[in-house]
Chain A
């Protein structure tokens, strides 16, 4: 667990260093479970992670799939096809209503 926390902290620092994250958003922590890292690193490219808990109550696997597809197809999110299932499993398990 400690190693994961350390990696998360380093990750947050790295994102700061390369100029992606705004102050304050490092306080947002997604639920620690399999799939979290791939979800967090892909989504945080374009937006803060608070969008995920903000919408959780509204979402289901179907609506997360629609959202992830929209991010890839309309917004050009750099999410590899082989990562989509893992991201959807994680979001459905931990951020669905």
Chain B
């Protein structure tokens, strides 16, 4: 049981949050994007990040912190739905695994997890389903994220399937439900719980992780253990895991039945059949996408001085086959150099030298194609919650 909880609210929160605005966000999102008055604020254990909301805390990684191959733990984005976020003592933390579809429910300590199961290290992108919602046109309500509700890290933990199989899975198992220690301010607010279909729960890449970039998980990224669902959007990556239930019927919680849903059939990606209706279905896999990290939007390049375009491309788990650049508004495309492939759930670096010989505006576009054959589209598929913005990126620069 979690016996000692300290809540990140009230006086404890006041001590833990070094919440001093230190300046405006240096990396403004694209025109027509999120609110102009961005402030950088440092949560406890974090460097200053773009504050979207204080409570629950929603903080976005600035573009400058997305340039490294692995996003630093203190720069990794923070996303919560509920305001009560307990500080958990790792020594007394327990993970309960049970439900109607297992024969031997278990309670595991952090030591049990680390000693009892094979350790897996896996590089993967964690991208919030609502990343880039603030760039949607027409705009939609919700946290107005720019490009930084995502990051890339090396996750370390154990396979969920190894833990589940030790509990004796029944053949009627349909979904696995995950609950974390975070709670709402009011008891009547739906607790944040998510479910996965059995095939995804038993995938060898679905992990219970206790480390990130070779360090214990930061408090605001789910300490002491969280779920890692590589290739699927961050909503499934439940933080501060406390309970895992395997059940023979679809989970009917608010965060599956009413939230994080997209129009059925509107997007590519894995289906979650037991949660699907004719109208809507849960968002699942990340769509092929890319981000230019250098140069920043609206940079003025110096004529004849060498300049380079670089960034990251990623998808829902097939890997990236090519990233192309266009300098003529998408009429013609040429492939860029790809960096080392770190794995199919990792992001893949790309780079190309820019021609700075002629003065004037330089309008660039970048598009990625996955090994699965998906390519970034020109147009947004509008949906009510503002998910899956993977449009081809346009970047306006100038040579002077």
Contact = CB atoms under 8 A, between A and B. Distances in A.
A17 B34 CA distance: 33
A50 interface: yes
Contacts of A76: 186-189
A67 B142 CA distance: 10
Contacts of B7: 19
A58 B35 contact: no
A18 B10 contact: yes
Nearest to B254: A74
B258 A47 contact: no
Contact of A55 (B16, B57, B141, B187): B141
Nearest to A67: B141
Contacts of B332: none
* Highest count of chain A CB atoms <10 Å: which of B11, B13, B139, B144: B13
B41 A24 contact: yes
B188 A57 contact: no
B69 interface: no
Interface string A31-54: 000000000000001111011011
B56 interface: yes
A63 B55 contact: no
B139 to A, nearest CB: 4
B190 A74 contact: yes
A83 interface: no
A54 B55 contact: no
A75 B186 CA distance: 8
A25 B186 contact: no
Interface string B216-235: 00000000000000000000
Contacts of A25: 19, 54-55
Indicate the size class of the contact surface on chain A: 20 to 34
B342 interface: no
Interface string B1-14: 00000011111011
A24 to B, nearest CB: 3
Interface in B121-179: 139-144
B11 A24 contact: no
A77 B10 CA distance: 20
Contacts of B144: 54-55, 58
A27 to B, nearest CB: 7
Nearest to A54: B144
Nearest to B20: A24
Contact of A22 (B13, B184, B189, B190): B13
B344 interface: no
B83 interface: yes
Nearest to B258: A74
A20 B10 contact: yes
B268 interface: no
Given A20-B185, A23-B14, A76-B188, A57 B52 contact: no
A97 B181 CA distance: 37
Contact of A45 (B10, B52, B141, B186): B186
Interface of A: 16-25, 27-28, 45-48, 50-51, 53-55, 57-59, 63, 67, 74-78, 97
Given A22-B13, A24-B54, A46-B189, 13 more contacts: A16-B11, A22-B17, A22-B57, A23-B19, A25-B55, A48-B54, A54-B53, A55-B141, A55-B144, A67-B141, A75-B190, A77-B186, A78-B186
Q: Which 6 residue pairs spanning A and B have beta carbons closest together? A: A19-B10, A24-B19, A76-B188, A48-B54, A25-B54, A48-B55
